[in-house]
Each structure stands twice: as C-alpha cells, then as structure tokens.
Amino acid sequence: MEEVKSLDRWHHELRSLGKSHWVTFYDAFLGTSPSNLPRFYRAINLYGHWPMFEAIVESSDRSLEGDALGYVITVAKNKFKESQTETDAASEYVKSVEESKKNTRTANKVLEKRIRERGKS
C-alpha cells in the first residue's frame, strides 16, 4: 500500500530534495509527468517554489483535459502576481506609516519649540 503524504511532508521534501523531486510531486498530484521539463523547471525558477506548489495542488482538484502544464504555469503566474501585489500594498502601507511618524515628529518638535518660547516669556 502506497503511503499518502501530507502537503507539509511534500513541501519539506521539495525543499530538501531539490528540483528533481518536483516531477514526482507533479506526477503524484496530476497523474502524469510534465510534458516539457525545461518549461516546467523554468516556471519554478521564474515564479518560485510556493506559487508552483500551490498551482499544482490547486490544479489537481480540476478535471483538466490534455496537457495540464500550461494551466499549472498560468495558475502559478497568477499566484506570483498576487503575491507581488500584496507585497507592493504592504510596502505602500509601511511607507505611509513611516511618513505619518515623520510628520508627527515634525509637528511635535514645532509644538515643543512653541511651548519653550511661551515658557520664556
């Protein structure tokens, strides 16, 4: 009887065993090997480990006809773009918080200066 691996176990194996294990992972979830290995490995390099991992798992829930690799790569690309958008939004938020802190410090210095001047009179 074949052992059923958890997603956490797969994730650990992919991290520790490297790219060659990706084909095994793809085959386990989609029932076939990638049709174009150079394209498959290029997508892993381009979009990263996590988007490809999620794309393969998500694709396994679909009834795909023909070559699934194109679909998997499209899903990975979209997941990568989403992560970039989230990262950009987080960066913008951090920038706005820093700007707000800077403005608050400036306003506090102005108020402190006014208080000192009034205290001298």
Which token pair is 15?
A: 């991290």
- Degrees, nearest 5: CA angle 51-54-56: 105
Confidence category of residue 26, pLDDT binned at 50, 70, 90? very high
Q: Which of 5-14, 38-47, 52-61, 112-121 has the lowest mean pLDDT?
A: 112-121
Whole-number pLDDT of residue 119: 77
Two structure tokens written together for 92:
């913008």
How would DSSP label each residue in 56-109? HHHHHTS---S--HHHHHHHHHHHHHHHHHHHHHHHHHHHHHHHHHHHHHHHHH
Q: Decide which of 95 and 50 is more confident.
A: 50
The secondary element (H helix, E strand) that includes residue 45 is: helix 37-47
Which pLDDT value is given to residue 83? Answer: 84
Asked if 36 contacts 3 with a C-beta cutoff of 8 angstroms, the reply is no
CA dihedral 63, 14, 9, 76 (to 10 degrees): -40
pLDDT tier at 98, thresholds 50, 70, 90: confident
